[in-house]
């Protein structure tokens, strides 16, 4: 199994994600994976994003889900780790996109929820309704 290093993507936004795929992944499948991950990680409102996605196909063909992906992405100050397994590379890209979107949404909104946004109770000086 020979790994293929596909470089770092850094479009005009603050996204620098390296994708590493083994030789079993075609250029078309790799482009589809990049399109899906760029849609999640390159959207406005996210803090600076960097990290790595590794995609591997199992050598044994009789496995039910031979494609595996592991992503370690730093979104601002938080580390997002996502794993996925699927039957095909396209299904893997779709699953990875769904999981990345869920984790990055949680991280992006964590700072807003963590601050005390509720009004204090009346006995603490809050307004009475």
Does a structural domain hold residue 122? Answer: no
Does a structural domain hold residue 4? Answer: no
- Model confidence at 65, in pLDDT bands (50, 70, 90)? confident
- Model confidence at 2, in pLDDT bands (50, 70, 90)? very low
pLDDT value at residue 11: 43
Report the Cα 48 to chain-centroid distance in Å.
13
pLDDT averaged over every residue in the chain: 82
> Is residue 49 over pLDDT 80?
yes
- Model confidence at 93, in pLDDT bands (50, 70, 90)? very high
Question: What is the per-residue DSSP string for 43-75?
Answer: STT---EEEEEEEEE-S-TT-S--EEEEEEEEE
* 109: CATH: 3.30.160.100
Does a structural domain hold residue 3? Answer: no
pTM given for the model? 0.73
| Residue listed under structure tokens 């963590």 | 114
Does a structural domain hold residue 77? Answer: yes
Does a structural domain hold residue 45? Answer: yes
Measured distance CA(29)–CA(51) in Å, rounded: 20
Q: What residue numbers bound the domain in which 104 lies?
A: 16-113
Measured distance CA(51)–CA(74) in Å, rounded: 6
Measured distance CA(63)–CA(24) in Å, rounded: 15
Structural domain count of the chain = 1
Does a structural domain hold residue 10? Answer: no
Q: Which range, of 31-40, 61-70, 79-88, averages the lowest pLDDT?
A: 61-70
Mean pLDDT calculated for residue range 14-37? 88
Report the Cα 15 to chain-centroid distance in Å.
11
pLDDT value at residue 115: 57
- Model confidence at 59, in pLDDT bands (50, 70, 90)? confident
Report the Cα 70 to chain-centroid distance in Å.
9
- Residue 62 has φ and ψ, to the nearest 5°, of -85, -5
Measured distance CA(6)–CA(104) in Å, rounded: 23
DSSP 84: E
Does a structural domain hold residue 2? Answer: no
- Model confidence at 98, in pLDDT bands (50, 70, 90)? very high
Does a structural domain hold residue 125? Answer: no
User: Would you call 7 helix, strand, or coil by DSSP?
Assistant: strand
């Amino acid at each position: 199994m020979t790994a293929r290093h596909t470089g770092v993507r850094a479009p005009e936004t603050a996204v620098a994600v390296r994708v590493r795929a083994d030789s079993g992944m075609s250029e078309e499948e790799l482009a589809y994976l990049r399109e899906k991950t760029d849609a999640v990680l390159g959207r406005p409102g996210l803090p600076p994003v960097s990290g790595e996605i590794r995609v591997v196909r199992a050598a044994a063909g009789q496995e039910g889900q031979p494609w595996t992906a592991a992503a370690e992405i730093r979104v601002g100050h938080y580390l997002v780790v996502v794993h996925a397994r699927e039957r095909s590379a396209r299904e893997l890209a779709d699953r990875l996109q769904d999981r990345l979107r869920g984790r990055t949404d949680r991280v992006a909104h964590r700072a807003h929820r963590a601050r005390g946004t509720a009004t204090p109770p009346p006995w603490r000086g809050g307004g009475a309704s």
